[in-house]
A and B are shown apart, each in its own frame.
Chain A
Amino acid sequence: MFGNRRYGWKLGGALALVLALGALSGARGSLVNPAPWRCLAQPERWDGARIWIPAARVASADAEGFVLETEGLPFRVAGRAEVRPGDTVGVAGTFEAAGPRLRLGEWRRIGPLGGTRWIAEAVSIVVLALVAANFFRRFRFRPGAADVEGDA
């Protein structure tokens, strides 16, 4: 199974399967939590989709709900929540094309540590660079190593 015999077929077959899975997932469409901008651009397509916005700033609030500012766009959220303009919140709910708006399900206020995610992301980049350096210390790129027996 892991031998060099029919190398191209095995490698190509596995890559084709990955691509097919991606294409199938793309065709099914609403598998993934769609981005707010995508919902606003095509409200009918995403009507009823479950959406999760991990963190966004509250631009304004009223008795009916509030407006989030996410990806530079205002995004209406319908439902009662004790939020004030300037708060950072995470929300989950169902997108409604009529509006368009998000029907609020769960929500939470992001605490003061919420703004420190960039630190974890900066650390992640450093970790990735170190792991890549270790990887290339252990491995060398030798295209000829994959040649099957019998090749000239």
Chain B
Amino acid sequence: MTTEPTTQTTPAIPAGAKWTRRHLLDVDELSPDEIELLMQTTDAMKEVLSRDVPRVPALRGRTIVTLFYEASTRTRASFELAGKALGADVINVAASGSSVEKGESLIDTVRTLQAVGADALIMRHGSSGAPYLVARHVQSSVINAGDGWHAHPTQALLDLYTMRAHLGDPSAGSGQALRGRKVVIVGDIAHSRVARSNIWALTTMGAEVTVCAPPTLLPAGMRPGQPRSEEPLAMPPVRVETDLDIAIQGADVVMALRLQKERMSHGLLPSTREYATLYQLTERRVAAAATGALVMHPGPMNEGVEIAPAVASSLQSVIEEQVTNGVAVRMAVLYLICRSRA
């Protein structure tokens, strides 16, 4: 135990921090105070996970359902662990093997899950916006675990938490924790829900974001020579760079995204090898970033394509830590959401 005043090591939770949300659909709706509350709640959850028996009764008697229409290892598993660590009952439903295969509609499926007593539905779906549709039709809380190309809020929050732990200024106020930090996201920005949610989360917390990709993998409003989309919900302003060697200079964080194989078949890229030559995170490229820059990847990785194996397992890599933090962040999300509906 410490003799130092414990109160000093724990930053004060912002006075205005409240949580009234029933759903978590994306990070674009979260205020800096709400994100800060989530981050500090995650600190407490990390302590729970560090115990010999990582289990508390905070959500005892609550039922959490994971409903995944797309494949997932880490997201589904970490939500399940998070729910169990908080004492909730967790039921896993995969589209394959459920009545979805008999042709049951999404709305009917979620109404059935609500009828059996789901307090929270954790949902992954291939169609952008599907969780928003569900949220309009059920009383349960809906947590988006990835919808199409649109959003993956808990991934962005765990990435933010990981960066904040290494680079953040804990005494900074809400929205200031990553003030001035340079974050480069490299890869398939156009089709990445991880990139989109990260851009929102990072800019909300004050980071300077650069996205880097070949023009075919940039979203319409970001391609060089095209006017920026004026649509207010499009995305916050970021720097766009198609040359990774320029983008990476002085970066505090470099995040590689997974290159999905179907991008090649759809003619967006000439070949995996060419992509790797121009956009792979190599030791040489990472050396141009700031000293001690963090290397991140949301997984699953294609080592040798978007990231060199030596970089993925280097000391600068926090990729495994991202997975560990994922459980704590999802505990914080489940706790705040399920408690707000008492």
Q: Do A and B come from one complex?
A: no
Interface set of A (CB-CB < 8 Å, partner B): none
Interface set of B (CB-CB < 8 Å, partner A): none
